């Protein structure tokens, strides 16, 4: 499915950062949500980010690993908790696939 064209200036509003998941746990009452504490570097610090990846990943699969996050997404309430960002995933056959980042890239690195 092709989506609407986005202007370059709108794309530039997104602040994509490398983040390291320092804690991950299931959200009580949800079969899919995973609550992550993510170190997004010195600009954002540690943020709580919820992701609907629990159907495919256990908490141990993401803890200690680095991924790309939308750091400046407006906070959103999910299951009575606030999420302050979003992990980027590929959609393969309707399965969310997290995209790992090389360990050498520091937390908070800007993705362009």
Write the secondary structure of 49-84 as one string of H (helix), E (strand) and C (coil). EEECCCCCCCHHHHCCCEEEEECCCCCEEECCEEEC
* Mean pLDDT (the chain, rounded): 97
Rounded to whole angstroms, the Cα distance separating 9 from 93 reads 31
**pLDDT tens-digit readout, 6-28:** 999 999 999 999 999 999 999 99
Q: Quick one: which H or E segment has residue 87?
A: strand 86-87
Question: Is the pLDDT at 1 greater than 90, yes or no?
Answer: no
**pLDDT tens-digit readout, 41-58:** 999 999 999 999 999 999
Predicted local confidence at residue 6, as pLDDT:
95
Q: Which residues contact 44 (CB under 8 A, 6 or more apart)?
A: 17, 71, 108
Note the residue count of the chain: 112
Bridge partners for 110 per DSSP: 17
Entry pTM:
0.94
Residue 11: helix, strand or coil by DSSP? helix
Domains of the chain listed by start with CATH number: 14-111 (2.40.50.140)
Mean pLDDT score, 25-44: 97
């Amino acid at each position: 499915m092709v989506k609407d064209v986005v202007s370059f200036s709108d794309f530039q509003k997104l602040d994509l950062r490398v983040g390291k998941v320092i804690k991950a746990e299931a959200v009580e009452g949800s079969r899919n949500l995973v609550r992550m504490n993510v170190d997004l570097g010195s600009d954002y610090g540690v943020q709580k980010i919820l992701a609907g990846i629990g159907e495919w990943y256990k908490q141990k699969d993401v803890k200690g690993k680095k991924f790309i996050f939308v750091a400046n997404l407006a906070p959103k309430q999910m299951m009575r908790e606030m999420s302050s960002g979003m992990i980027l995933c590929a959609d393969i056959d309707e399965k969310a696939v997290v995209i790992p980042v090389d360990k050498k890239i520091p937390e908070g690195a800007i993705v362009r």
